[in-house]
Amino acid sequence: MFTRGFFDFPDLGWRSPFEEMDRMRRYIDQLMGQAESGYALPRAGVFPLINLTESKEAYILRAELPGVKAGDLDIQATGRNITISGERKIETDQNATYHRRERSAGSFSRALTLPGEIDRDKIEASLKDGVLTVSVPKSEKAKAKQIEIKS
């Protein structure tokens, strides 16, 4: 216990060069965020968050889009790809002093490649309670076919 506190055992205070590079990258990312906006904005990551599931008949895509209206969305299907793009608008109070600002506004776009062929003519989408649900039916070629065994 004494050696751990006194000598920073077991690594004796030495850092991996990769840890140091990762720390520097985070610091530079933070500085770039401050330069772009005038103050630090944490990066929210990829927006919107998406779950993609598969059933026998279709792929179901669910995206979290709180505060986004259906008119602000554009869904495109090409080949095996689905692209969701739009704009997230957030009202800001110019007279307020922000102590924390994590919700960002602006344009976004997410593209997903689906695992199999799709029937683009039958795609349906709905937006309810901030969750976009897109049902993408599989093409007849992509559906599993039951083979009858003859004896």
| Sheet containing 106-113, strands listed edge to edge, beginning at the edge strand earlier in sequence | 73-78, 81-88, 106-113
Q: Are 63 and 132 a contacting pair, CB within 8 Å?
A: yes
**Burial of 46 from C-beta contacts in 10 A (0-12 / 13-18 / 19+):** exposed
The pLDDT, as a whole number, for residue 106 is 84
Q: Where residue 30 falls among pLDDT bands split at 50, 70, 90?
A: confident
Q: What are 96-138's pLDDT values in tens digits?
A: 888 887 777 888 899 999 998 899 999 999 999 999 999 999 9
Q: Which residue has the tokens 């976004």?
A: 108
pTM score, whole prediction: 0.63
The pLDDT, as a whole number, for residue 10 is 55
Q: Where residue 28 falls among pLDDT bands split at 50, 70, 90?
A: confident
Judge whether residue 43 has pLDDT over 50: no
Report percent pLDDT > 90 for the chain: 37
